[in-house]
Amino acid sequence: MIQNDLLLRTLRGEQTERPPVWMMRQAGRYLPEYMVLREKYGFFERCQTPELACEITLQPIDIVGVDAAILFSDILVVPQAMGLEVQLVESKGPLLPDPVKTAADMNRIRVPEISETLGYVMDAIRLIKKELNGRVPLIGFAGAPWTILCYMVQGKGSKTFDEAKAFCYTQPELAHQLLQMITDTTIAYLSAQIEAGADTVQLFDSWGGLLGPADFEILSLQYMRQIVTAVKDKAPTILFAKGAWHSLEEMAATGAHGLGIDWCIQPQRARQFAGSNVTLQGNFDPAKLLGPIPVIKKEVTAMLDAFGPGRHIANLGHGILPNVPVAHAKAFVDTVKEYRYKG
């Protein structure tokens, strides 16, 4: 039994007294307690050691008081499991030294057996569930196929992911073969996370907004739709496609329980596009947490008013920035926790 199940009730569409709150990337570098472990262990070592992943997952619950835990891991463990080397280079971000560029490169890629390659994630989930002891729900996650393809082909972060797009536009058959392999892997992976104890799952399509609406359907949404269809009856499913607000109506039609939005769309407009049968999540500009606390409190309240009563999960519109003071993150969370729906 989960004591604080605000998040799950909100995803199911039940009326609650206030919105639940969590923050994307809530386990991370703005927390001094995270930095201590970061000094001692490499990034993937932290992901692959269940005790470390568990400790890091619980930090924002204990320190900031959010209403949900999100598994400490990374979306790039999936390309690793599929056969690619992935490094995380200090202050540079992800690096895949041998990305996918040709048909021959596809021979190195496989749909892996999840228990053999990502079993450590499920071990971490079981440990986290035990340590959480029902305090708050646990969110599992994976990258959306399009965003994973971006890294598998580009080989590193990018503002435009031009090489990934060139791959899709010049070798569409290969691109779709790869997207389908990622999709099949992700369905098995999220199902295993749920089986191990994840209470809800989120798909991160961080680079969905790089595609126009037609390409978003072809390269991203048709694969996310397959994933939602396969997992939504096992656990509530949240889709977060950053910058892809043009397709909120189509994303709602997948049957996802929640849709994440960034700060570039008004809550009321997002609601019009998404319809009334889905929970919206977001959408505070993460950079606003760098402003003074009284301004944060005022703006968070304005955001909650704008979303209106119910079917809203308070969150940032993207990950928390590493230079946000912990007190400011707490002000964000506390403002939501003090808020009450009127009537």
Q: How far is the CB of 90 from ligand CP3 (least distance, A)?
A: 7
**Running DSSP on this structure, what letter comes out for residue 221?**
I
Does residue 313 bind ligand CP3 (CB under 6 A)? no
Q: Which residue in 141, 167, 245, 332 binds ligand CP3 (CB under 6 A)?
A: 141
Contact (Cβ atoms closer than 8 angstroms) between residue 57 and residue 70: yes
Does residue 251 bind ligand CP3 (CB under 6 A)? no
Does residue 238 bind ligand CP3 (CB under 6 A)? no
Contact (Cβ atoms closer than 8 angstroms) between residue 242 and residue 206: yes
- Compute the distance between CA of residue 166 and CA of residue 157 in angstroms, rounded to an integer: 15
| Residues between 143 and 202 that touch ligand CP3 (CB under 6 A) | 157
Distances (CA, A) of 90 to 70, 76, 94, 320: 23, 16, 9, 18
Both structure tokens of 322: 């590493």
Nearest to 183 by CA among 214, 232, 154, 147: 147
SS3 for 276? coil
311 is in an annotated binding site: no
* Chain residue whose CB lies nearest ligand CP3: 206
| Residues between 21 and 80 that touch ligand CP3 (CB under 6 A) | 24-29, 38, 43, 70, 72-76
Nearer to ligand CP3, 171 or 178 (CB): 178
201 CB-side CA count, 13 A: 30
Nearer to ligand CP3, 38 or 297 (CB): 38
* Residue 46 annotated as catalytic: no
* Residue 38 annotated as catalytic: yes
Nearer to ligand CP3, 31 or 280 (CB): 31
Nearer to ligand CP3, 73 or 117 (CB): 73
**Running DSSP on this structure, what letter comes out for residue 219?**
I
Contact (Cβ atoms closer than 8 angstroms) between residue 153 and residue 100: yes
Q: How far is the CB of 128 from ligand CP3 (least distance, A)?
A: 12
* φ/ψ (deg, to 5) at 276: -95, -5
List 30, 34, 151, 189, catalytic entry:
151
List 29, 123, 285, 341, catalytic entry:
29
Contact (Cβ atoms closer than 8 angstroms) between residue 78 and residue 142: yes
Indicate the residue type of 173: E
Contact (Cβ atoms closer than 8 angstroms) between residue 273 and residue 245: yes
Does residue 297 bind ligand CP3 (CB under 6 A)? no
Q: How far is the CB of 111 from ligand CP3 (least distance, A)?
A: 21
Of 9-17, 87-95, 102-110, 192-200, which part binds ligand CP3 (CB under 6 A)? 87-95
Q: In three state form, how does the secondary structure of 64-86 look?
A: CCCCCEECCCCCCHHHHHCCCCC
Q: How far is the CB of 240 from ligand CP3 (least distance, A)?
A: 8
Q: How far is the CB of 234 from ligand CP3 (least distance, A)?
A: 19
34 is in an annotated binding site: no
Does residue 285 bind ligand CP3 (CB under 6 A)? no
93 CB-side CA count, 13 A: 8
Q: Which residue in 94, 112, 197, 209 binds ligand CP3 (CB under 6 A)?
A: 94
Does residue 319 bind ligand CP3 (CB under 6 A)? yes
* Residue 25 annotated as catalytic: yes
Does residue 309 bind ligand CP3 (CB under 6 A)? no
Cα distance between the two ends of the chain: 29
By residue count, the chain amounts to: 343
Question: Which residues of this chain interact with ligand CP3, rule CB under 6 A?
Answer: 24-29, 38, 43, 70, 72-76, 88, 93-94, 141, 157, 204, 206, 319
Catalytic residue set: 25, 29, 38, 74, 151
User: Which residues participate in the annotated binding site?
Assistant: 25-29, 44, 74, 151, 206, 318
